[in-house]
Amino acid sequence: MTPQPAALAAKLTARIPTLKQWSEAKPDELLHILETQAYPLQTGKDGDSVYLVDHLWALHRDELTPARQSRLRALVDTDNLSPAASFNVNAYCLALQGESTQLVQLWRSEFDARVTFAGLFVLMECFRHVKLQDLTVINEMIDMIDQPTWLFWGRLKAAVTFACLRPGQQTNAAEVIRKVVHNNTTPEIIATRERALQQLATDPALWSRCEYCCYGNVHSNSIIATPCPVCLGFGTILG
Ligand SMILES: [Zn+2]
């Protein structure tokens, strides 16, 4: 049964204090929720397990020590996590261990039902983390966002990924970004596009890690993370 708008609004309002609490929580507290399945009743495991593992990745990545990664891995394909959350944990742990080959295998596993549309974005994030240099895969990503069926936000997110992978002159990444992230949008999105193009055209040695965020992410009280206002979500700054 489709929830009525008023019921849905009430459900979302009830969720706000929980999200605020999670935003302020330490990694071990978030892991404990996953391990004990202490998901709030109004949302439940399907949404919250994905939310929590994505939050750990986005905002506590450098705190995911081998011991914490082991705790996360122990939950994969168990009742503690939804199938999507299990997929994400597996991919994130591979990225943290620098397992590029296995990530590419996942990208190519077209018969694996877990590789959903959302899963593709997770893999792109992981490619960004391991600084994938496989031009075949990078060109596949570029071709994907060039398809008219892709939603605008997805194209923008992918543009950030390409810029971070810095395929430089070896691909048509800049040309595609200019084409699909068009001018008929908000100033914030245009600024992100220009930042992506700048990064693509600049020597990687000129950029250093942004100290104001976690890989381009900053805390938000209502969603998993928001792009860092200093580096616009790229995680690096000039100089
Ligand atoms: Zn930043």
Break the chain into its structural domains and give their ranges: 17-132, 133-202, 208-239
Residue 18 pLDDT level (bands cut at 50, 70, 90): confident
> How far does residue 227's CA lie from ligand 1's centre (Å)?
8
- Of 117, 96, 49, the C-alpha closest to 215 is 96
Give me the helix-helix angle, 45-59 and 27-36, nearest 10°: 160
What pLDDT does 168 receive? Answer: 65
In angstroms, what is the span from residue 213 Cα to ligand 1's centroid?
4
Is pLDDT above 60 for 126? yes
Distance 219 CA to ligand 1 centre (A): 11
pLDDT at 3: 55
- Cα 81–102–204 angle (5° rounding)? 105
| Residue 12 confidence (pLDDT) | 73
For 186-216, how does the pLDDT look when each residue is reduced to its tens digit (9 = 90+)?
Answer: 888 899 999 999 988 888 889 999 999 999 9
Do 91 and 126 contact (CB within 8 A), yes or no?
yes
Q: What is the mean pLDDT of residues 225-231?
A: 91
Spatial CA neighbour of 152 closest among 190, 102, 206: 190
> Is the model's pLDDT at 30 over the cut of 80?
yes
Distance 8 CA to ligand 1 centre (A): 34
pLDDT score at 110:
64
End-to-end CA separation in angstroms for the chain = 54
What residues are neighbours of ligand 1 (ion), with CB under 5 Å?
Answer: 210, 212-213, 228, 230-231
How far away, in angstroms, is 61 Cα from ligand 1 center? 14
pTM: 0.89
Q: Is 227 helix (H, G, I), strand (E, B) or coil?
A: strand
Q: Six-digit token pair at 1? A: 């049964």
What is the mean predicted confidence (pLDDT) over 53-63? Answer: 96
| CA angle (120, 116, 82) in 5-degree steps | 110
Rounded-to-integer distance, Cα 155 and Cα 146, Å: 8
| DSSP codes, 42-94 | TT-HHHHHHHHHHHHHHHSGGG--HHHHHHHHTTTTSTTS-HHHHHHHHHHHH
pLDDT at position 120: 85
Query: What average pLDDT score do residues 49-55 get?
Result: 94
The pLDDT of 17-42, averaged and rounded, is 89
- Give the whole-number percent of the chain exceeding pLDDT 70: 93
Ordered DSSP codes for 102-155 = HHHHHHH-TT-TT--HHHHHHHHHHHHHHT---HHHHHHHHHHHTSTTS-HHHH
